[in-house]
Amino acid sequence: MVSLAPLLKYDPSTTPSAAQSLLSALKSSGFLYLTDSPIPPSLLSHVYKLSAEFFARPSEEKNALPWTTPRANRGYSGMGMEKTSLGMSKEEVEKERGGEGDDQKESFEIGRDNEDGQPNQWPEGDTEFRKTMMDFFEQCKQLHAVVMKGIALALNLDPEFFADFVRQGDNTLRLLHYPSVPAGAFANGRVRAGLHSDYGSITLLFQDSRGGLQVEREDGGFVDVTPIEGTIVMNAGDLLSRWSNGLIQSTRHRVVEPPLKMGKDEEWYPPRYSVAYFCNPDFDRTIEALPGTWEDSKGGKKWKPVNSGDYLEQRLSATY
């Protein structure tokens, strides 16, 4: 676990060591728990409440707010619309996921509210939903900047190195609902969400108590990311791994259905809710290996430079 407190307010006696702990976790596993979040628990609870109410709406209301294109990446996606995967093309995704079936989830994506030509899709007349989600979006955006400052410090870069890469906030707030399903729905290795890596810089995940997130180990096994109240699960994405020239791990993960608890109805699995905030470098920025990660004996740059927005669009185009 890494406390955010020393990263939120610089203290020479604690901040550098906290930054190193952050980097160490990202290098070793790519996943960690963040504690001491500045996001008010009351706001997070309200986000969960409104999310559950949104997914309880009739299908015709949700389908009137459709996810449309990978570049926009906003709106509602129904059951089976997305197949999370490691594939880089639709053909690779279909080959990989063909035997597993569709993801057992529905989602609602929200981006920044001031991007030209890419408006968010809001439930008509529900000003409370819009205000709450954008308040939460902004707080997560600020937390993204704090974490990137800590990573810069740990990499011996100027603490403000990433500031111009995260200024616009080309991020995605994703509300997720894994509906209650019959126990037989997970026969033959079927999962809630398939094995994948995330695409951007970091992901901030807020879990309910149900659990189900698993991280792949180096030996191919999986480790449960057990929900811990008051924490945020954070993981690195592909673009942060590319930035660090592979020093930081973009670890593969999936969502499975946890075993039913003793005494519970064995006919149905209960629903699961989570909130993911996908942090990305601004879409007009080019990502290439950072200074100090590739020179001399480090073996050179592992990847060619890539545009952030183009990379995100390519990955999303393959899974929808």
Average pLDDT (216-243) is 93
Q: What is the pLDDT of residue 298?
A: 84
User: Residue ranges of the alpha helices (H) in 98-195?
Assistant: 127-154
pTM for this entry: 0.91
Report how far apart the first and last C-alpha atoms of the chain are (Å, whole number).
34
Residues 6+ apart with CB under 8 A from 189: 99, 100
Residue 223, both tokens: 């480790």
Residue 60 scores a pLDDT above 50: yes
Which DSSP letter does residue 296 get? G
Q: What is the pLDDT of residues 260-269, one digit of tens each?
A: 665 555 677 7
Q: What is the pLDDT of residue 144?
A: 98
Q: What is the pLDDT of residue 211?
A: 81
Coil, helix or strand at residue 178: strand
Average pLDDT (228-237) is 96
Residue 87 confidence class, pLDDT cut points 50, 70, 90: low
Residue 244 scores a pLDDT above 50: yes
Q: What is the pLDDT of residue 265?
A: 54
Q: What is the pLDDT of residue 101?
A: 57
Is beta strand 2-3 parallel, antiparallel or unpaired with respect to 31-35?
Answer: parallel
- Buried residues in 39-50 as b, exposed as e (16+ CB within 10 A): beeeebebbbeb
Are 195 and 254 contacting, i.e. CB atoms less than 8 angstroms apart?
yes
Picking from 225, 224, 252, the residue whose alpha carbon sits closest to that of residue 238 is 252
Residue 79 scores a pLDDT above 90: no
Are 223 and 212 contacting, i.e. CB atoms less than 8 angstroms apart?
no
Q: What is the pLDDT of residues 104-151, one digit of tens each?
A: 789 999 999 988 889 999 999 999 999 999 999 999 999 999 999 999
Average pLDDT (253-259) is 79
Taking the C-alpha atoms of residue 90 and residue 35, their distance in angstroms, rounded to an integer, is 38
Q: What is the pLDDT of residues 154-203, one digit of tens each?
A: 999 999 999 999 999 999 999 999 888 777 766 666 667 788 899 999 99
Q: What is the pLDDT of residue 257?
A: 74
Give 244 or 184, the one with higher predicted confidence: 244
